[in-house]
C-alpha cells in the first residue's frame, strides 16, 4: 500500500517467506512525541502486503484553517508526521488527502458503529477502511530527547541546489557555526528508500542529530531531501544509485565556491546505500574529497551482501538449517536470474522455473507459506525488475573503493544483520593499500 523499502524487523519472517529479501533497517520503537491532546482520525485499513493484513493509520488534526492541516502517522511502516489535508469534514462524511503519496481516504458516517466507513485509495488500488475518532491521549507516546531543539547555537540556511544532469533540485539545510570564519563541510547522504533531510524513521532524526553535533564542534553540515521527496524535485521512481550519486556530486560542486566553506575541506558521510554513493564520489573526486565516512556502507558485491543478509535474517527468524540452505540456494538463483534476464517476460519465466524446481522440497502448506506460487512470482518480478534494483544488484563497491585517495572512516555494528560488520570491514581492509583507512566496529549496537 504505502511503498517503502525499509521493513520492520518483527516482520522479517514474513519477508523471508515472500521469497524476496528487500532492503532492511534497524528495529525501532513505535510512538510519537508527546503533545497537547488533539483530535485524531484513527483508520484501520484492510490490506494484504505480506507482513501486514490490517494497517493502522493516524491523522492528527493540527489546525483546520491551515493547509496542510493534519499530520499522518503509520507506525508499522515508520511513517511519522507526514503532511495531510482534511479537505472535507462534516457530520456525514470526511475526505483526507496525502499529496506526497497520491493517496486519499473517503469515508461516510455510519451511526451504527460510530465510525466513518469507506475506502483508502492509492494508485489504482482501493482498500476497505474504517475510521474512528480518538484523541492523541489514546495513542502511544515516546520522547526523542536526542533530537536537537531550538534555539540553536549556530546558523541554519535552507538551500535548493540544481542538478542539471538529473533534471531535479535538491533542497536541504546548511548548518554552519558562524559567518566569521571558513569551515570544513560534511555532506550527509541517506540510505535506500525515499528519505527526508533528517533521514527520519519512527520519529528518530539521525541526520539532524549528526548535523547538530558536528556543527557545534566546528564542522558545517548540509543535509538534503532525496530527489522527488520532501521539498526536492525529480523522479525518484525511475532513479538508480547512479542518479543519486549525481545528486550528491551536484551538491559537492555547489559548495566548492561557497562563502565560509573551506573548499578543500569538503567530505561526505553516507549511510547504507549512501555509503555506496560515498565510494562512487571518492573515485570521482579522488584527492579533492577531504574525507569519506561510511555508516554501515556495503563493501562486498551487493549480490553477495544480499545473500548473506538473507541467511542472517532467515536464521534470526527461526528457520531451520535444512530449509535455510534450500532457501539460500533458491534465492541465489533468483538473483542470478534478475541479473541475466533480458526483459521482464524472461525474468518471469526464469523465476517461475526456479520456484517450480524448489517447490519439491516443501509440502503444500510450506509452499504457500514461502509463496512458491503465482503470487510469489508476481512479487519477485515486480521488485527485481525495477530500474533501482537491477542497478543495485549488479553494484560492485570494489570498483570504486580501489580508486579512492581520500581518508576513510568506516563504522559498522556487530549486531547489524543487514550489512555484516565482519564481512564488509574485512573486505575494506584488503582493498585499501596506502590510503588512510580507519575501521571502527561498534559492538553490541542495538
Residue 8 resides in a domain: no
- Look at the chain and report how many structural domains it folds into: 3
pLDDT mean over 18-42: 40
- Return the percentage of the chain with pLDDT > 70, whole number: 82
pLDDT value, residue 274 = 98
Residue 284 has what pLDDT?
A: 95
- Over 50: is that where the pLDDT of 31 sits? no
| Assigned domain for 63 exists | yes
For residue 6, give the nearest of 197, 189, 201 by alpha carbon: 201
The confidence score (pLDDT) of residue 136 equals 67
Distance CA 210, CA 147 (A): 10
| Cα 19 to Cα 330: distance, rounded to the nearest angstrom | 8
Check residue 57 and report its DSSP letter: E
Q: Grade residue 333 by pLDDT with cuts at 50, 70 and 90.
A: very high
175 lies in a domain? yes
Q: How many CA atoms lie within 13 A of 92 on its CB side?
A: 0
Pick from 138, 168, 203: which residue ends a domain?
138
Is 144 among the domain residues? no
User: Does residue 5 lie in a domain region?
Assistant: no
pLDDT at residue 444 above 70?
A: no
The CATH number linked to 219 is: 3.40.50.1820
Taking residues 210-234, what's their average pLDDT?
Answer: 97
The whole-angstrom separation of Cα 312 and Cα 271 is: 20
Shared-domain flag, residues 274 and 311: no
DSSP 255: G
Count CA atoms closer than 13 A to 420's CA, side-chain side. Answer: 18
C-alpha to C-alpha distance for 22 and 382, rounded to whole angstroms: 12
Whether the pLDDT of residue 404 is over 80: the answer is: yes
Same domain, 389 and 432: no
Among 109, 138, 167, residue at a domain's last position: 138
- 159 and 134 part of one domain: no
Weakest-pLDDT range from 58-62, 98-102, 404-408, 442-446: 442-446
Predicted pLDDT of residue 38: 59
181 plus 278 within the same structural domain: yes
Distance CA 416, CA 443 (A): 10
In a domain, 367, yes or no: yes
Do 193 and 78 fall within a single domain? no
Give me the residues paired with residue 154 across strands.
none
Same domain flag for 260 and 165:
yes
pLDDT number for residue 443: 53
Residue 202 has a pLDDT of 67
Grid cell at residue 386: 525495477
Looking at the structure, do residues 360 and 425 belong to the same domain, yes or no? no
Whose grid coordinates read 466513518?
A: 116
Give the strand pairing for 54-61 and 39-46. Answer: antiparallel
Question: What is the Cβ-side half-sphere exposure of residue 50, based on CA atoms within 13 angstroms?
Answer: 27
Question: What average pLDDT is seen over the chain?
Answer: 83
In a domain, 373, yes or no: yes
Which tens digits make up the pLDDT trace of 284-300? 998 899 999 999 999 99
Closest CA to 440 of 296, 323, 259: 296
Name the residue range of residue 372's domain.
302-393
Mean pLDDT of 227-250: 95
Task: Quote the DSSP letter at residue 348.
Answer: H
One domain for residues 201 and 296: yes
Strand ranges (E), 272-322? 292-295
* Rounded Cα gap, residues 247 and 227, in angstroms: 8
pTM: 0.72
Mark whether 67 and 94 lie in a shared domain: yes
Confidence check: pLDDT of 254 > 60: yes
Contact 116, 131 (CB under 8 A): yes
Within a domain: residue 22? no
**Residue indicated by cell numbers 558485491:** 301
Of 163, 328, 317, 323, the residue nearest 248 (C-alpha):
163
- Could you give the CA distance from residue 226 to residue 244 in angstroms, rounded to a whole number? 8
Residue 36 has pLDDT above 60, yes or no: no
**Per-residue pLDDT reduced to its tens digit, 314-327:** 777 777 888 889 98
Question: Can you read off the three cell numbers belonging to residue 431?
Answer: 582493498
Q: Does 204 lie in the same domain as 177?
A: yes
Residue 35 burial (CB count, 10 A): 13
CB 338 within 8 A of CB 390: yes
Consecutive H or E run containing 303 = helix 302-316
46-50, 240-244, 284-288: least confidently modelled range:
46-50
In terms of domains, do 289 and 434 share one?
Answer: yes
Q: Tell me which of 160 and 445 has the higher pLDDT.
A: 160
Say yes or no: 162 and 120 in one domain. Answer: no
CATH value at residue 56: 2.40.128
pLDDT (mean) for 325-332: 92
- More confident of the two residues 20 and 405: 405
Amino acid at each position: 500500500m504505502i511503498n517503502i523499502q525499509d521493513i520492520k524487523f518483527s516482520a522479517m519472517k514474513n519477508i523471508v517467506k515472500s521469497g524476496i529479501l528487500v532492503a532492511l533497517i534497524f528495529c525501532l520503537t513505535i510512538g510519537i512525541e508527546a503533545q497537547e491532546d488533539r483530535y485524531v482520525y484513527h483508520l484501520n485499513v484492510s490490506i494484504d502486503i505480506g507482513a501486514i493484513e490490517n494497517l493502522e493509520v493516524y491523522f492528527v488534526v493540527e489546525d483546520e484553517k491551515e493547509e496542510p492541516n493534519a499530520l499522518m502517522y503509520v507506525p508499522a511502516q515508520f511513517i511519522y508526521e507526514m503532511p495531510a489535508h482534511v479537505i472535507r469534514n462534516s457530520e456525514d462524511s470526511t475526505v483526507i488527502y496525502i499529496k506526497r503519496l497520491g493517496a486519499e481516504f473517503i469515508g461516510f458516517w455510519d451511526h451504527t458503529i460510530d465510525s466513518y466507513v469507506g475506502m483508502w485509495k492509492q494508485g489504482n488500488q482501493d482498500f476497505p477502511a474504517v475510521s474512528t475518532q480518538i484523541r492523541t491521549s489514546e495513542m502511544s507516546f515516546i520522547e526523542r530527547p536526542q533530537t536537537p531543539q531550538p534555539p540553536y547555537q549556530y546558523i541554519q540556511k535552507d538551500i535548493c541546489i540544481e542538478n542539471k544532469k538529473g533534471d531535479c533540485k535538491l533542497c536541504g539545510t546548511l548548518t554552519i557555526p558562524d559567518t566569521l570564519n571558513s569551515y570544513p563541510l560534511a555532506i550527509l547522504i541517506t540510505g535506500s528508500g525515499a528519505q527526508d533531510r533528517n533521514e527520519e524513521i519512527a520519529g528518530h532524526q539521525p541526520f539532524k542529530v549528526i548535523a547538530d553535533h558536528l556543527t557545534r564542534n566546528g564542522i558545517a553540515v548540509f543535509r538534503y531531501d532525496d530527489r522527488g521527496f520532501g521539498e526536492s524535485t525529480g523522479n525518484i521512481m525511475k532513479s538508480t544509485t547512479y542518479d543519486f550519486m549525481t545528486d550528491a556530486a551536484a551538491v559537492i560542486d555547489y559548495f566548492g565556491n561557497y562563502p565560509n566553506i573551506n573548499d578543500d575541506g569538503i567530505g561526505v558521510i553516507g549511510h547504507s546505500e549512501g555509503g555506496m554513493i560515498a565510494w562512487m564520489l571518492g573515485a570521482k573526486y579522488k584527492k579533492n574529497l577531504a574525507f569519506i565516512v561510511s555508516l554501515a556502507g556495503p563493501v562486498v558485491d551487493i549480490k553477495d551482501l544480499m545473500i548473506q543478509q538473507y541467511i542472517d535474517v532467515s536464521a534470526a527468524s527461526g528457520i531451520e538449517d535444512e530449509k535455510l540452505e534450500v532457501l539460500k540456494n533458491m534465492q541465489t538463483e533468483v538473483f542470478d536470474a534478475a541479473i541475466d534476464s533480458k526483459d521482464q517476460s524472461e525474468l518471469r519465466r526464469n523465476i517461475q522455473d526456479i520456484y517450480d524446481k524448489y517447490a519439491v522440497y516443501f509440502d503444500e502448506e510450506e509452499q504457500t507459506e514461502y509463496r512458491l506460487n503465482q503470487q510469489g512470482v508476481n512479487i519477485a518480478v515486480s521488485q527485481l525488475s525495477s530500474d533501482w534494483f537491477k542497478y543495485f544488484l549488479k553494484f560492485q563497491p570494489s570498483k570504486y573503493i580501489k580508486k579512492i585517495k581520500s581518508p576513510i572512516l568506516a563504522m559498522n555494528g556487530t549486531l547489524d544483520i543487514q550489512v555484516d560488520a565482519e564481512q564488509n570491514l574485512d573486505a575494506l581492509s584488503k582493498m585499501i593499500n596506502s590510503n588512510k583507512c580507519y575501521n571502527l566496529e561498534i559492538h553490541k549496537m542495538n
